[in-house]
């Protein structure tokens, strides 16, 4: 190795989509500029974006095998394991042959074989193998694979300041997202001339990535007649093109079909639809407003150009990374975010965007040039510094060629707490909020949360649907009330769904009293549900709505008939809740006492415990007198096989700790 | 170790009483018990200091908060004294003893690894992955099956090695190396997991394990003694009597562990303890080829593992709960039964089933 480090060797990896390849290429270009003799090779997989982009940039490309993580299907898991194993071996060969000084990865599953092979070599040689690993993370919330890779890496460059705290300590540093050299800002007029766009119009450029985005395509096509009523609006629509054969969605055809079906004439002079755009820079430069997906690459390009944008993140059950990215830009004041929806009311499971909302957002921005100006200024300042240069200086530092570079601070914005959580974590988080352990949700968070619940609810997984129901209850998602009632009463739903629907109703009944009749009717069917937990939750619901509804005598009769029958239920939880429910709605004391007598010697003591509580409620409601209740108390078997142990030392510990820190310790 | 000394004493004309299997079993039992008491507390304190403490884990509505912080991986106490005393009092040239010690080390080590990972990640669900756990068990099962069934290395007479024996029937049901090998693998996986599932309440896993080791000790003594075996119509397996000495050491260690683990527990055995106990008892049962007796004696474990299986694979697959909670002890706990009550009842059942297992000696 020569002294000036010109013989350094690097492996770049990462891919799958253009969003992973282009930052790697930007860094590679910068590296070549600083070290013209450095050897760089690129590792990717066949048939993906890197196959086209990397040779264009003049970097030799080697292929490894890799695949994204599959679900729980064992056959697919075996196939996945096989692919990863061969990919790992290929990566080992590449690394051993090339012996790089540093591996630079932009994340995604494509980079996994190279990273793990390098980490493996370093581990088995106990540090004798000195190749460094540097990762660039492009999203706000790193994926699972990237978190694993981050543990093996020497350093992780992040695009968003707030990502650092999710990473292993001391590894993260802010760089920003390296983008290709683009047309500078002030060249709007020149670009418009070149593309034949009127100079004084309001130009909207929508582009959903090279493969197209269904939501953007359909919404824009549907909104086009409405938008074109404003004579100055000029729309350029990049629909995307299917990439390989696996992609079943063909944006260009889809859009033309929608327009063809329309009654109104669409002015195709001002609504230009293109399936493939190769001079992106020009279109970016020519436009006043850009509509994009929230992939890290697109939003960084748009922000670096200082363009205002409307961002439409992909809604996904499994990951929030696009929403996270979009929110970051929105909080910085550089964009407006519109969320895709699914509609649990109409059962629409394909995400869509409300056309009216979409039109309104565009028109409002068109009418407010000062806001556009403000957004575009903010966009230009979100990502300070020169990402590629920062990363290259860190690369050279890791190779021992340069001193530790100065750390650039990335801007941090207050985070939405519900993003980046999976459904289980979300449920636990909401429980903590409800219990007062965490501060309540803000307005924006509620909006995101409702959107998430919709997505869960329309998903095909029963587990996610049950969770959606429970979360809807915890979050008091009142708009969902009628649907939850429907779920609770439908015998076609799975037992867990009915159970959780009733559980959710227990908090939703406080939303709106006008659904009283439906709620009572559903509860009556719920009380004779074949699944015991549903009967149990329905009984609990009776106790809760008894306090807020005026129950008519016929409804009471109907409910009591089922509740008294449930006192003989073979599940003790149903008996417990039936007792409490009876106590909450019964008006005839003799009937209550007579029926309760059946449970005086119940073999599960929790039922007898409920009797005491039941009589307590009856006394409170003034149905029976306290003397009468005490007479009944004496008849109930009071010995049981349950008791609670108490660890006296732990209790003292908690008491003393509470005293010292001045706060209740649990 | 002491076995050699006794041999030397006997050969030079001294008393032979210490060389007998029965006396060595008793001595191993007593010494293991007292050693456990002796090293128990210092080890518990060390575990606590090193941060091997259990964390709260949510079992639905069961309040496990109060047990948070109890030192875990207490299996190491049983491991040290059990194996230590086995080495002290057994004939270390006996192949059965060697296999048992290998199994104890194998399962104990992987159990310890599991506990360590859980502590390291501070998450009870992030121990060894399911696949790794099962593959270590299956791997050991395969090795043991080959050792038993392969005629050239098997320490058992060939007609017994690949023969299936059941209680209440004198002869051998059938001979089939392949089926018996599969059966052995199943027993190993089952026994290693069963104790693990039962280990959810103070003393719940230890006492049934003690009963099982007593039953195994009795059987191996009979089967390893030519006269008793002939008298009771068992197939004599030379050398298997040493398993009784080994069982004695484990029973002593487990009883000593119960000293600390009884309700309210000062230490939990953790996966190290449960895998170690489960793995060795399965191995011992396979070595004397009395697996069915072992299953009868450990009916509590069968119930626990079956209830979990039913709940998860039949219930949850159909989106409903069949039991209130699983394993079965949580089902009762959910109904409000106190922990000590459930544990005592499970002990009673396992004592009765151990007696039933012993009675099968006579009813054949």
If asked whether residues A132 and A264 sit together in one domain, one would say no
CA distance A302 to A336: 13
pLDDT-derived band at A6, boundaries 50, 70, 90: low
Nearest chain B residue to A466 by CA distance is B319
Put the strands of the sheet holding A271-274 in their side by side order: A271-274, A233-238, A202-207, A289-292, A309-311, A335-337
A230, A378: one domain? yes
Same domain? A75 vs A157: yes
For residue A531, the chain B residues in CB contact (below 8 A) are: 320
Q: Determine whether the interchain pair A643/B318 forms a contact, defined as Cβ–Cβ distance below 8 Å.
A: no
- DSSP assignment of A426-482 equals HHHHHHHHHTTSSPPPPHHHHHHHHHHHHHHHHSS-HHHHHHHHHHHHHTT-GGGHH
Q: What's chain A's Rg over C-alpha atoms? A: 31
How close is the nearest chain B Cα to the Cα of A589, in Å? 29
CB distance A531–B320 less than 8 Å? yes
pLDDT in tens, B133-149: 999 999 999 999 999 99
Q: Which residues contact A424 (CB under 8 A, 6 or more apart)?
A: A467
Of all residues in chain A, the one with the smallest CA distance to B65 is A666
Residue B60 in domain: no
Residue ranges of alpha helices (H) inside A546-663 are 553-566, 572-585, 589-596, 605-620, 626-635, 648-661
ipTM of predicted complex: 0.85
Q: Are A184 and A215 in contact (CB under 8 A)?
A: no
Which site among A645, A646, A651 would you substitute to test the B interface, given the most B Cβ atoms closer than 10 Å to its Cβ? A645
3-state secondary structure of A621: coil
Q: CB-based contacts of A663: which residues, under 8 Å, 6+ apart?
A: none
**CB burial of residue A21 (10 Å; 0-12, 13-18, 19+):** buried
- Residue A412 has a pLDDT of 67
Residue A3 has pLDDT above 60, yes or no: no
User: Is A497 near chain B, with CB under 8 Å?
Assistant: yes
**Whole-angstrom distance, CA of residue A9 vs CA of residue A2:** 12
pLDDT band for A29, please (50, 70, 90 cuts): confident
Cα separations in angstroms, B196 against B132, B199, B293: 15, 5, 20
Q: How many domains does chain B have?
A: 1
Contact B336 A604 (CB under 8 A): yes
Does any CB of chain B come closer than 8 Å to the CB of residue A640? yes
Q: Look at residue A493 and tell me if it is in a domain.
A: no
Note whether A531 contacts B335, CB cutoff 8 Å: no
CA distance A249 to A256: 13
Task: Specify which of A209-213, A219-223, A438-442, B201-205 reaches the highest per-range mean pLDDT.
Answer: B201-205
B279 Cα to chain A: minimum distance (Å): 27
Domain limits at B326? Answer: 2-53+69-359
Mean pLDDT of A1-26: 74
Residue B364 lies in a domain: no
Contacts 24+ apart (CB under 8 A), A83-92: A84/A112, A84/A113, A87/A45, A87/A112, A87/A113, A88/A113, A88/A116, A88/A117, A88/A120, A90/A63, A90/A64, A90/A65, A91/A43, A91/A64, A91/A116, A91/A117, A91/A118, A92/A117, A92/A120, A92/A121
Residues A255 and A161 in one domain: no
- A467 lies in some domain: yes
DSSP B128-159: S-HHHHHHHHHHHHHHHHHHHH-TTT-SS-HH
Mean pLDDT of B171-194: 91
Say if B64 falls within a structural domain.
Answer: no
Q: Give me the domain span that covers residue A248.
A: 188-382
Which pair of structure tokens corresponds to residue B175?
A: 């001979």
Nearest in space to A278 (alpha carbons), one of A224, A246, A241, A309: A241
Q: Are residues A341 and A435 both part of a single domain? A: no
| Beta carbons within 8 Å of A147's beta carbon, 6+ residues apart | A166, A167
Is A514 an interface residue toward B (CB < 8 Å)? no
Q: DSSP 3-state assignment of A254?
A: helix
User: What's phi and psi for A574, nearest 5 deg?
Assistant: -65, -40
Of the listed ranges A432-441, B204-213, B269-278, the least confidently predicted one is A432-441
> How does pLDDT run across A155-209, given as a tens digit for each residue?
888 888 778 877 888 788 888 888 766 545 557 788 888 888 888 888 899 887 7
Work out the number of other CB atoms within 10 angstroms of the CB of residue B356: 16
Annotate A296-310 with b (16+ C-beta within 10 A) or e (fewer): bbbbbbbbbbbbbbb
How far is the alpha carbon of A635 from chain B, nearest alpha carbon, in Å? Answer: 21
Whether B71 contacts B268, CB under 8 Å? yes
Ramachandran class of B142: left when φ > 0, alpha when ψ lies in -120 to 50, beta otherwise: alpha
Note whether A170 and A264 are same-domain residues: no
CB-based contact B303:B352 (threshold 8 Å): no
Distances (CA, A) of A244 to A73, A207, A238: 25, 19, 18
Query: In the prediction, which pLDDT does A1 show?
Result: 40
Comparison of pLDDT for A355 and A581, the residue scoring more: A581
- Provide φ and ψ at A520, rounded to 5°: -65, -40
Return phi, psi of residue B291, to 5°: -65, -35
pLDDT above 90 covers what percent of chain A? 24
Q: Is there a single domain that holds both residue A170 and residue A197?
A: no
Provide the domain count of chain A.
Answer: 3
Cβ distance of A642 and B320 shorter than 8 Å: no
pLDDT band with cut points at 50, 70 and 90 for residue B308: very high
What are the tokens at A420? 């980046």
- Among A466, A605, A666, the residue with its CB nearest the CB of B336 is A605
Looking up tokens 């004493």 gives B9
Which residue among A531, A533, A643 sits closest to B338, beta carbon to beta carbon?
A: A643
Contacting residues of A for B69, CB less than 8 Å apart: 650
CB B213 within 8 A of CB B251: yes
Residue of B263, B319, B324 with shortest CB distance to A494: B319
Report the run of H or E that residue A103 belongs to, with start and end.
strand A102-105
A368: in domain: yes
Confidence of residue A666 (pLDDT cuts 50, 70, 90): low
**Distance of residue B121 Cα from the nearest chain A Cα, in angstroms:** 13
With respect to residue B29, please indicate whether it lies within any of the assigned structural domains.
yes
- Closest-CA residue of chain B to A493: B319
B69 in contact with A, Cβ within 8 Å: yes
Q: Are residues A215 and A346 in the same domain?
A: yes
Angstrom CA distances, B315 to A214, B194, B312, B322, stand at: 39, 20, 6, 6
Interface test with A, best of B335, B344, B345, B346 (most A CBs within 10 A): B335
* Dist CA A468 CA A475 (whole Å): 10
Percent of chain A with pLDDT over 70: 94
- Cβ–Cβ gap A643/B320 under 8 Å: no
Which of B54, B126, B319, B338 should be substituted to probe chain A, the one whose Cβ sees the most A Cβ atoms within 10 Å? B319
Q: Which residues pair with A104 in a beta bridge?
A: A12, A134
A569 touches chain B (CB under 8 A): no
Reading the block at residue B305, the tokens are 């593992």
Of A495, A572, A641, the CB nearest to B338: A641
**Rounded-to-integer distance, Cα A324 and Cα A421, Å:** 11
pLDDT > 80? residue B276: yes
- Interchain CB distance below 8 Å, A646 and B66: yes
Domain-located, residue B121: yes
Residues on chain A touching B346 (C-beta within 8 angstroms) = none
- Using the CB atoms, write b or e for A352-363: b if 16+ within 10 Å: bbbbeebbebbb
List of chain A residues whose C-beta atoms are within 8 Å of the C-beta of residue B348: none
Mark whether A297 and A335 lie in a shared domain: yes
Q: Determine how many CB atoms are found less than 10 A away from the CB of residue A98.
A: 16
Are residue A159 and residue A116 in the same domain, yes or no? yes
Q: Which chain A residues are Cβ-neighbours of B318 within 8 angstroms?
A: 494-495
Q: Are strands A132-137 and A155-158 parallel, antiparallel or unpaired?
A: parallel
Residue A298 CA to residue A207 CA, distance in Å, equals 9
In chain B, residues 236-265 whose CB comes closer than 8 Å to chain A = 263-264
In a domain, A495, yes or no: no
Q: Is B188 exposed, middle or buried (0-12, 13-18, 19+ CB in 10 A)?
A: buried
Q: What was the pLDDT predicted at A414?
A: 62
Residue of A nearest to B318 (CA): A494
Using the structure block, give the residue that is written with the tokens 């009071």. Answer: A638
In the DSSP assignment, the letter for residue B288 is T
A536–chain B Cβ distance below 8 A for any pair? no
Chain B: residue nearest A428 by CA? B58
A412 lies in some domain: no
- Given CB atoms, is B66 within the 8 Å cutoff of chain A? yes
> Can you give the pLDDT at residue A315?
78
Taking the Cβ of residue B126 and every Cβ of chain A, the question of whether any pair is shorter than 8 Å is answered with no
Tokens of A509: 């009944």
- The answer to whether residues A375 and A456 belong to one domain is no
* A650 touches B at CB < 8 Å: yes
d(CA B194, CA B107): 13
Dist. CA A410–CA A393, nearest whole Å: 17
> Residue A413's pLDDT is what?
66
Q: Calculate the average pLDDT of chain A.
A: 85
Residues A392-396: contacts with CB under 8 Å, at least 24 apart: A392/A27, A392/A30, A392/A31, A392/A34, A394/A134, A394/A155, A394/A157, A394/A173, A394/A175, A395/A10, A395/A27, A395/A31, A395/A102, A395/A104, A395/A134, A396/A5, A396/A34, A396/A35
Contact B319 A462 (CB under 8 A): yes
pLDDT tens for B34-76 read: 999 999 999 999 999 988 888 765 444 445 557 778 888 999 9
CB contact under 8 A, B319 and A495: yes
B319 touches A: beta carbon within 8 Å? yes
Which pLDDT value is given to residue A2?
A: 41
Contact B337 A642 (CB under 8 A): yes
Do residues A392 and A369 share a domain? no
Burial of B246 from C-beta contacts in 10 A (0-12 / 13-18 / 19+): buried
For residue B312, give the DSSP letter.
I
Does B338 contact A at CB distance below 8 Å?
Answer: yes
Any CB–CB contact under 8 A between A246 and chain B?
no
Give A274-286 pLDDT, tens digit per residue: 877 777 778 888 8
Q: What CA–CA distances, in Å, run from A115 to A27, A47, A109, B141, B224? A: 18, 21, 10, 35, 57
Residue A605 touches chain B, beta carbons under 8 Å? yes
Domain at A359, CATH number = 3.40.50.2000
A348-352 and A341-343: which strand pairing? antiparallel
Report the pLDDT averaged over residues A11-36.
83
- Mean pLDDT (whole number) for B11-26: 82
What's the mean pLDDT in A611-622? 94
Residue B83, preceding peptide bond in cis (omega within 30° of 0): no
User: Which residues in chain B are closer than 8 Å to A532, comparing Cβ atoms?
Assistant: 321
> Is the bond preceding residue A292 a cis peptide, omega within 30 degrees?
no
Q: What is the pLDDT of residue B352?
A: 96
Q: Which residue of A has its CA nearest to B69?
A: A650
* Beta-carbon pairs below 8 A across chains A and B: 43
pLDDT tens by residue, A46-71: 877 777 778 888 888 888 888 877 76
Task: Give a yes or no: residue A522 inside a domain.
Answer: no
């Amino acid at each position: 190795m020569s002294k000036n480090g010109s013989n350094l060797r690097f492996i770049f990896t990462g891919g799958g989509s253009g969003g992973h390849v282009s930052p790697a290429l930007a860094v590679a270009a910068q590296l070549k500029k600083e070290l013209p003799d450095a050897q760089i090779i690129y590792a990717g997989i066949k048939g993906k974006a890197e196959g086209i982009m990397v040779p264009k940039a003049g970097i030799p490309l080697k292929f490894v095998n890799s695949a994204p993580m599959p679900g729980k299907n064992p056959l697919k898991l075996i196939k996945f394991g096989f692919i990863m194993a061969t990919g790992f071996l290929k990566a080992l060969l590449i690394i051993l042959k090339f012996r790089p000084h540093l591996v630079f990865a932009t994340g995604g599953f494509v980079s996994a074989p190279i990273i793990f092979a390098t980490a493996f070599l370093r581990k088995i040689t106990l540090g004798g193998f000195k190749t460094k690993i540097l990762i660039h993370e492009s999203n706000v919330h790193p994926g699972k694979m990237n978190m694993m890779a981050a543990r093996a890496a020497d350093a992780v460059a992040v695009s968003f300041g707030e990502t650092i705290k999710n990473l292993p300590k001391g590894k993260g540093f802010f760089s920003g997202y390296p983008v290709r050299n683009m047309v500078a800002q002030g060249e709007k007029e020149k670009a418009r001339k070149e593309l034949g766009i009127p100079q004084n119009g309001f130009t909207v450029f929508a582009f959903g990535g090279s493969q197209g985005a269904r939501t953007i395509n359909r919404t824009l096509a549907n909104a086009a007649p409405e938008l074109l009523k404003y004579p100055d609006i000029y729309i350029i629509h990049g629909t995307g093109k299917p990439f390989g054969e696996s992609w079943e969605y063909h944006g260009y055809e889809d859009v033309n079909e929608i327009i063809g079906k329309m009654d109104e004439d669409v002015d195709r002079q001002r609504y230009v639809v293109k399936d493939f755009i190769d001079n992106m820079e020009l279109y970016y430069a020519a436009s006043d407003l850009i509509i994009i997906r929230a992939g890290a690459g697109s939003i960084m390009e748009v922000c670096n150009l200082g363009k205002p944008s409307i961002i439409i993140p992909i809604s996904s059950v499994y990951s929030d990374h696009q929403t996270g990215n979009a929110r970051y830009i929105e909080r910085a004041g550089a964009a407006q975010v519109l969320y895709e929806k699914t509609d649990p009311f109409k059962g629409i499971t394909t995400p869509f965007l409300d056309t009216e909302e979409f039109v309104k957002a565009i028109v409002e921005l068109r009418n407010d040039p000062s806001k556009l100006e403000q957004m575009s200024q903010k966009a230009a300042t979100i990502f300070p510094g020169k990402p590629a240069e920062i990363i290259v200086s860190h690369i050279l530092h890791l190779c021992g060629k340069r001193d530790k570079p100065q750390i650039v601070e990335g801007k941090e914005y207050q985070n939405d707490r519900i993003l980046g959580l999976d459904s289980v974590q979300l449920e636990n988080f909401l429980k903590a909020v409800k219990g007062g352990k965490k501060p309540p949700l803000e307005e924006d968070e509620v909006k995101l949360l409702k959107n998430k619940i919709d997505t869960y609810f329309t998903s095909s997984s029963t587990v996610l649907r049950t969770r959606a129901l429970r979360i809807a209850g915890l979050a008091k998602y009142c708009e969902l009330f009628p649907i939850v009632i429907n779920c609770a009463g439908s015998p076609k739903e799975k037992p867990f769904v009915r159970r959780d629907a009733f559980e959710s109703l227990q908090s939703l009944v406080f939303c709106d009293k006008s659904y009283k009749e439906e709620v009572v009717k559903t509860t009556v069917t719920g009380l004779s549900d074949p699944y015991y937990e549903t009967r149990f939750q329905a009984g609990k619901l009776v106790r809760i709505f008894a306090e807020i509804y005026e129950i008519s005598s016929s409804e009471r009769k109907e409910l009591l008939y089922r509740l008294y029958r449930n006192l003989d239920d073979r599940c003790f939880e149903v008996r417990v809740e039936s007792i409490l429910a009876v106590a909450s709605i019964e008006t005839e004391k003799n009937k209550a006492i007579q029926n309760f007598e059946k449970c005086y010697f119940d073999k599960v003591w929790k039922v007898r415990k409920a009797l005491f509580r039941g009589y307590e409620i009856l006394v409170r409601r003034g149905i029976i007198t306290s003397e009468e209740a005490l007479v009944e108390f004496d008849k109930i078997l009071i010995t049981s096989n349950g008791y609670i142990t108490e660890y006296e030392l732990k209790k003292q510990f908690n008491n003393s700790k509470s005293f010292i820190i001045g706060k209740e310790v649990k | 170790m002491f076995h050699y000394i006794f041999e030397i004493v006997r050969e030079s004309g001294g008393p032979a009483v210490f060389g007998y299997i029965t006396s060595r079993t008793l001595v191993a039992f007593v010494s293991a018990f007292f050693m456990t008491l002796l090293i128990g507390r210092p080890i518990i304190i060390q575990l606590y200091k090193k941060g091997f403490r259990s964390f709260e884990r949510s079992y639905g509505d069961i309040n496990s908060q109060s047990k948070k912080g109890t030192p875990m991986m207490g299996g190491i106490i049983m491991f040290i004294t059990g194996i230590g005393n086995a080495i002290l009092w057994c004939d270390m040239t006996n192949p059965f003893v060697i296999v048992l010690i290998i199994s104890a080390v194998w399962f104990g080590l992987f159990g310890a690894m599991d506990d360590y990972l859980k502590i390291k990640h501070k998450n009870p669900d992030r121990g060894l992955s399911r696949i790794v756990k099962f593959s270590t068990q299956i791997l050991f099962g395969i090795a043991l099956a080959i050792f038993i069934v392969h005629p050239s290395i098997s320490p058992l007479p060939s007609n017994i090695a690949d023969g299936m024996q059941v209680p209440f029937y004198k002869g051998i049901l059938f001979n089939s190396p392949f089926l018996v090998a599969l059966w052995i693998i199943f027993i190993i996986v089952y026994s290693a997991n069963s104790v693990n599932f039962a280990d959810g309440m103070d003393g719940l896993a230890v006492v049934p394990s003690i009963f099982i080791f007593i039953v195994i000790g009795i059987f191996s003594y009979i089967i390893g003694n030519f006269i008793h075996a002939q008298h009771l119509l068992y197939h004599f397996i030379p050398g298997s009597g040493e398993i009784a000495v080994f069982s004695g050491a484990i029973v002593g260690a487990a009883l000593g562990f119960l000293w600390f683990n009884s309700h309210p527990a000062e230490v939990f055995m953790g996966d190290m303890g449960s895998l170690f106990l489960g793995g060795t008892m399965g191995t011992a049962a396979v070595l004397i080829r009395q697996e069915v007796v072992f299953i009868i004696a450990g009916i509590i474990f069968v119930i626990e593992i079956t209830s979990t299986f039913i709940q998860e694979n039949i219930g949850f697959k159909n989106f409903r709960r069949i039991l209130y909670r699983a394993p079965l002890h949580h089902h009762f706990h959910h109904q409000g039964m106190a922990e000590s009550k459930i544990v005592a009842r499970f002990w009673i059942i396992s004592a009765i089933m151990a007696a039933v297992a012993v009675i099968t000696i006579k009813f054949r």
